[in-house]
Amino acid sequence: MDRRKKPLDVTASSLVDLKAELFRKQEEFKQEKLLKDSGVFGKPKTTNKKPSIWSKQNVGVSNRAEKDAEQKIEEQKTLDKAREKLEEKAKLYEKMTKGDFIDEEVEDMYLVDFTQKIIDKRKEMEASGAHRDSQKAGERDDDEENLPEGEIPPPQGPQ
């Protein structure tokens, strides 16, 4: 035996498998010998095999698949219609928040008074702008008080 080659790994399960294969081959040989003695040559062909349970399809599977495909198409159409409607509503809302009404009748049709919302928003913007200006001016005063007289910056606006 060559030392470079590894010896085969022989386990109990491999010996059992080998004995089972040997027994199967012996049985096949006996069957062939009996058939040969009886005058039939070659292996008997069994064409009457029962199909396995995995080879046949369940009843109604293809019908169900077709129904699922149709249902999926209908759901997609519904989703597309809903998306279009929501986009239209979003555009209408944008117009309404900007104050672009078609006429007064359309404006009265809605429960929300967008005109008042626009007015309130402008007032809020003006108030927050004035508040910011007063805060900035207050900060400047505080900064000016903390600075020595030589480092006072020049005025930034007419006020």
Neighbours of 114 (CB within 10 A): 17
pLDDT score recorded for residue 121? 84
| Digit-coded pLDDT (tens) for 83-133 | 999 999 999 888 877 777 666 666 667 777 777 777 888 899 888 887 676
C-beta atoms surrounding 32 within 10 Å? 15
Give the per-residue pLDDT at 152. 72
Chain segment 2-58, per-residue pLDDT in tens: 667 777 778 888 889 999 999 999 999 999 888 888 876 555 555 667 777 777 778
Between the two ends of the chain, the Cα-to-Cα distance in Å is 109
- 52 torsion bin: left (phi>0), alpha (psi -120 to 50), beta (else): beta
